[in-house]
Amino acid sequence: MTHSPDPITQTVQSNLCTGCGVCAGRFPELIRMVDDVTNGRRPIVAQTEAGLNAANQAINLCAGAGADHASLPAKDETDRDWGPVLKIWEGWAADEEIRHRGSSGGAVTALGLALIEAGEADGVAHVAQRDDDPRLNRSVISKSREDMLRGAGSRYAQASPGERLAEIAATPGRFAFIGKPCDVASVRKAANQDEYLDDKIAVTIGIFCAGAPTLAATEALLDRLSVPKGAALTDLRYRGNGWPGTMQATWRDADGSLQKSDAISYGEGWGQVLQAGRKWRCSICADHTGEFADISVGDPWHNPPKGNTDPGRSLIVARTERGVRIIEAAIANGTLIAEPRDRDLIAKAQPNLLDTRGSVFGRRLAMHLTGMPVPKDTGLNSFDLWKSHLSLKRKAQSVAGSLKRIVRRRLWRAVDITPV
Ligand SMILES: Cc1cc2nc3c(=O)[nH]c(=O)nc-3n(C[C@H](O)[C@H](O)[C@H](O)COP(=O)(O)OP(=O)(O)OC[C@H]3O[C@@H](n4cnc5c(N)ncnc54)[C@H](O)[C@@H]3O)c2cc1C
Ligand code: SF4
Ligand code: SF4
């Protein structure tokens, strides 16, 4: 007799897992995250009675399976379209090295460090490149400037910062959490259900995210950079070292000397290589700007850089009163150099994202039509945006294009995870 899988494995199998790592972070003995080349970083549940119990509890924390947008305060259209937007600034880290190494203006790294230095957080949970395999990421807890700099610059590769919840829960003190919108959404869900954990999370910071490419996409990038197959990589940069930065790899050859690949622009690397390597879950993601975070940070594309390595700038959004207080303190003490902007700037800075949120309705409709499970999100205005914001052609494309993709890629089949 075959048993139906536990709810976490079902979430993975049905393409709903985002890879946030929160299930593994809450049940580290029974759920572990592994890297799969084409499916991303995904959880594997121990096939025991205890594993099943853990999965039954963990599914309640999983924002991949569903997020409660209806619980977010929304006083006007800006909030309904983008999640709570209390205040917005445009600026950068005052520390020149952090600004340079950061993905945009280094605001996230600067804020994390400011929280540690002010004693508001005993550490910051985030991700950094793996030393032994720079194609992959590890989740870490940083406690110093040097530690924080490990994570500066976006890693356009699979990552699960939610795994660190185990250490956060077990270690005395309070911690800041940095992650993509999907990572933050699950952490918020977990914190809402556990007062002790809630108290231990000093603040959450979300980075804007249009989709996380898989290891297969990173391999395609290495080919594009003409890195020899199987080279002993020592570094792989996707962003940073100027805004928006370039993509470049470093490896050690057989003689032991370091070799550097050509650097390609962020635009070329993202647009021509990595973008195509995002998982289906990212195509049906409705939150690209970290609506559940206290603070979220993205690129101010309305005022684009002139070259590939300009001095960086960040768009900084306070979503809660706690976020406002932390950003204003960082500006007052000189950690951040930033100026207030109108609340509607987010729409100008990320002009494609409203269309994307509308298209998500059409894409999920296509999933319904083919019998696939969809995330049980509440309070999304995707249908309204689909109706009012998208042209007739885009409406049709969002459904028909998705049906084609579902059929071509046979997305209804159970996703099978093979750890690398
Ligand atoms: C997959 C991906 C897609 C993105 N898409 C967009 C987009 O559509 N629009 C946009 O404006 N910006 C996008 N970004 C860029 C991101 O929003 C910027 O990093 C943000 O502006 C923060 O810049 P910063 O200089 O303040 O951050 P930094 O000071 O460089 O700090 C970045 C922080 O993010 C963490 N981090 C890096 N990579 C990951 C990851 N894969 N998962 C979880 N945490 C990570 C690091 O640990 C570090 O703490 C994307 C980034 C990633 C990783
Ligand atoms: S909690 Fe995160 S990692 Fe676990 S199944 Fe849900 S989305 Fe995937
Ligand atoms: S697009 Fe959404 S689901 Fe995909 S990695 Fe980004 S925040 Fe997570």
Q: Is the CB of 67 under 6 A from ligand 2?
A: no
Q: Is the CB of 282 under 6 A from ligand 3?
A: yes
Domain span at residue 83? Answer: 76-213+277-351
Pocket test for ligand 3, best of 182, 289, 359 (most atoms within 8 A of CB): 182
| pLDDT higher than 70, residue 261 | yes
Instruction: Judge whether 68 lies within some domain.
Output: no
Strands (E), 280-349: 295-298, 309-310, 314-318, 336-341
Q: What is the pLDDT of residues 346-362, one digit of tens each?
A: 999 998 999 999 999 99
CB 245, CB 239: distance < 8 Å: yes
Instruction: Judge whether 2 lies within some domain.
Output: no
Q: What is the pLDDT of residues 186-214, one digit of tens each?
A: 999 999 999 999 999 999 999 999 999 99
Instruction: Take atom 4 of ligand 2 and give the residue whose Cα is closest.
Output: 23
Taking Cα atoms as reference points, which of 65, 121, 83 lies closest to residue 374?
65
Model confidence band, residue 164 (pLDDT cutoffs 50, 70, 90) = very high
Taking Cα atoms as reference points, which of 384, 351, 209, 360 lies closest to residue 292?
209
Give percent above pLDDT 70 in the chain: 99
Q: Is the CB of 19 under 6 A from ligand 2?
A: yes
Q: Is the CB of 8 under 6 A from ligand 2?
A: yes
Instruction: Judge whether 123 lies within some domain.
Output: yes
Q: How many domains does the chain have?
A: 1
Task: Kindly give the number of the ligand 3 atom that is closest to the alpha carbon of 181.
Answer: 7
Q: What pLDDT is recorded for position 153?
A: 95
| pLDDT higher than 90, residue 135 | yes
For ligand 3, the distance from its centroid to the CA atom of residue 55, given in whole angstroms, is 22
Q: What pLDDT is recorded for position 2?
A: 53
| pLDDT higher than 50, residue 1 | no
Instruction: Judge whether 155 lies within some domain.
Output: yes
Instruction: Judge whether 191 lies within some domain.
Output: yes
CATH number of residue 141's parent domain: 3.40.640
The pLDDT mean for the chain works out to: 96
Ligand number nearest CA of 163 is 2
| pLDDT higher than 50, residue 14 | yes
Compute the C-alpha angle 208/236/180, nearest 5°: 20
CA 139, CA 134: separation in Å to the nearest integer? 13
CB 181, CB 288: distance < 8 Å: yes
**Phi, psi dihedral angles at 293 (to 5 degrees):** -85, 165
Q: Which residues contact 157 (CB under 8 A, 6 or more apart)?
A: 135, 136, 137, 212, 213, 214, 215, 217, 218, 238
Q: What is the pLDDT of residues 290-332, one digit of tens each?
A: 999 999 999 999 999 999 999 999 999 999 999 999 999 999 9
Instruction: Judge whether 195 lies within some domain.
Output: yes
Q: Is the CB of 211 under 6 A from ligand 3?
A: yes
For ligand 1, the distance from its centroid to the CA atom of residue 139, given in whole angstroms, is 14
Tell me the average pLDDT across 207-229: 96
Pocket test for ligand 2, best of 14, 16, 17 (most atoms within 8 A of CB): 17
Q: What pLDDT is recorded for position 351?
A: 87
Identify the three-state secondary structure at position 141.
strand
Q: What is the pLDDT of residues 78-119, one digit of tens each?
A: 999 999 999 999 999 999 999 999 999 999 999 999 999 999
Q: What pLDDT is recorded for position 99?
A: 98
Q: Which residues contact 42 (CB under 8 A, 6 or more apart)?
A: 12, 17, 19, 33, 34, 36, 415, 417
